[in-house]
Amino acid sequence: MEEAIEFLQRELLNAIHEYVINNDVDFDPELATQYIHNTGRDRLLQIMETAKRDHQEAKDALFPPSMLKTILSVSLKHGLVEYAKEIVEHSKIQKS
């Protein structure tokens, strides 16, 4: 489980980086770090649970095995991008 959390944390940092660059956002890294510290573990577990549920629903719907990995990956990526947006919005610096 710890390896999965560490993997998701790395992917989350990549999602934050991508979001900040693509949206030209300034944010306070200390506020972001504090927010992640306060919410990260629960949110990452929630993202994993949602991805597992999506995977199981696809499996139950008889999606081909080749699609199941893609469905899991897309679900994880979507959850991480949404969380990255939340983190950046929470720690955004307003431009004057």
Render pLDDT for 23-82 as a digit per residue (tens, 0 to 9): 999 999 999 999 999 999 899 999 999 999 999 999 999 999 989 999 999 999 999 999
pTM summary value: 0.89
Domain containing residue 31:
2-90
Residue 77 in any domain: the answer is yes
**Most confidently modeled of 2-6, 41-45, 86-90?**
86-90
Cα angle: 79, vertex 33, 11; to 5 degrees: 35
Residue 62 in any domain: the answer is yes
Give me the pLDDT at residue 36, please: 95
Q: Which residues of 64-83 are buried (b: 16+ CB within 10 A; e: fewer)?
A: eeeeeeebbeebbeebbbeb
Please count the structural domains in the chain: 1
**Confidence at 96, pLDDT banded by 50, 70, 90:** low
